[in-house]
Structure 1
Amino acid sequence: MKIILASGSPRRRELLAEAGVLFEVIVSPAEEIHDASIPLSELCEKNAELKAEAVAVSNADAAVIGADTLVWIDGEPLGKPKDMDDARAMLRKLGGRSHTVCTGVCVIFPGGVVRRFHDLTAVHFLPLDEARISEYFEKANPLDKAGAYGIQESGELIVDRIEGAFDNVMGLPVAKVVEVLKAGF
């Protein structure tokens, strides 16, 4: 079965390849929803489905994987920052606190069978002052990452500990994805 990852995320490509999955990439043109009135897991799964649907419509012979990762704190979803000022504000908000990372996944199989699921990870940040935030930004680009950080890129500068799957924080709960792909439709 042909597998397509409907994401331009280099982290998702890396995680799926490391799991031994053979796939191609077609970046989804779908627009994400960022509506705090929708429960976190539902919001992430819906965004993942929008991304997968946009690619599956012209690739009916493939299993299409869509994914969406959000950082959630104080009842607010944090997506990718608009600019460096927004990124700095996000890290200030996260500093010294705990938040939830949710990755929603949708796999659309040939024949239109849809499997949606998500994974949650608690992330505990170290206290962050302006110097620490600047040091982190010197080592990692925050602009293409939910919550303005990538745990795999100098995460030790900002993250105290996590409870849950590291790969989920990176953007794809790989074990769950592989399990769904193997189970098929």
Structure 2
Amino acid sequence: MEKVKLILASGSPRRRELLAELGYQFEVVTSDAEEEHRSDISLVELCERNAEIKTQAVAKDLPEAVVLGGDTLVYVDQEPLGKPKDLAEAKKMLRRLSGREHHVCTGMCLIHGDRVEAFHEVSSVFFKEVDDATIDRYLEQVHVLDKAGSYAIQEHGDMLIERMEGDYSNVVGMPQRLVDVQLRSFGLQPEGL
């Protein structure tokens, strides 16, 4: 019996690293699907919906493969913060998060043939009070235009973050434990671990 291929429907280098750390063999096929940007549905629903949209876009051409996609959003004041369009918007987002708690949700979706499983993880992140000088230094050191909420916990996160509660890998971009459980439920196993 031929082994089922695992496809990661994401161009995110962070998701690639996190999935590789779990020991799975996979190929990357980037999704070109348009994400929804809505504030009229819950954070969880929006993340899972966007993950499914991205995953479906790749899975439709690869019905024999197991396809995994994801979407991460930062949520503050009941509003989703996606990726900033420029550094001015990034600075505005970081000012808004300063001294506050926010939530990070990653919605994931697995598709194999007719089977579709969407799932998610939510973590809480508490920012330090940060001034404009700290924000400017952070933006000089970290490329944030491809990051929800304009920051990366794994890149100089100590400049901004006081503490976090929940799954660290979720805040990076993919909840590893949950993904591992779900991949195993689809009959996949890590290799060499």
TM-score bucket (shorter structure): over 0.9
Partner of 2:185: 183
Q: How many residues align?
A: 184
Task: Kindly provide the amino acid, as one letter, of the partner of residue 114 in structure 2.
Answer: G
Residue 137 of structure 2: aligned partner: 135
Q: Any residues of structure 2 matched to 1:39-78 within 5 Å, and which? A: 39-78=42-81
1:91 aligns with 2:98: no
Q: What is the one-letter code of the residue matched to 1:171?
A: G
Gaps of 5+ in 1: none
Q: For residue 20 of structure 2, what is the aligned residue in structure 1?
A: 17
SS at match of 1:77: strand
Give, in angstroms, the shift of residue 151 of structure 1. Answer: 0.4
Deviations 1:104-140 (A, max 9, x none): 000001x220011000000000001101101111211
- Which one of the candidate residues 148, 151, 154 is aligned to 1:152? 154
Tell me how far apart the structure 2 counterparts of residues 64 and 174 of structure 1 sit (CA, whole Å). Answer: 16
Aligned letter for 2:43? L
Which residue of structure 1 aligns with residue 190 of structure 2?
A: none
For 2:118, the equivalent position in structure 1 comes to 116
Q: Pairwise CA RMSD of aligned residues?
A: 0.8
* Cross-structure match for 2:32: 29
- Per-residue deviation at 1:27? 0.5
How far did 1:178 drift?
A: 1.0
CA shift for structure 1 position 21: 1.0
Q: SS at the partner of 2:158?
A: helix
Query: Could you say what secondary structure the match of 2:37 adopts?
Result: coil
Q: Which amino acid aligns with 1:92?
A: R
SS at 2:49 equivalent: helix
Q: Give the ranges of 4+ consecutive aligned residues of structure 1 lying more than 3 Å apart after TM superposition.
A: none
Q: What TM-score does the superposition give when structure 1 sets the normalisation length?
A: 0.98
Deviations 1:28-80 (A, max 9, x none): 01111110101110000000000000000000011101100000000110000
The residue type equivalent to 2:163 in the other structure is R
Distance 2:34 2:19 in 1: 23
1:7 aligns to 2:7 (yes or no): no
After TM superposition, the score normalised by the length of structure 2 is: 0.94
Q: Does residue 164 of the first structure (1) align with residue 166 of the second (2)? A: yes
Between the aligned partners of 2:140 and 2:90, the Cα distance in structure 1 is 13
Letter in 2 for 1:52: T
What secondary structure does 1:150 align onto?
coil
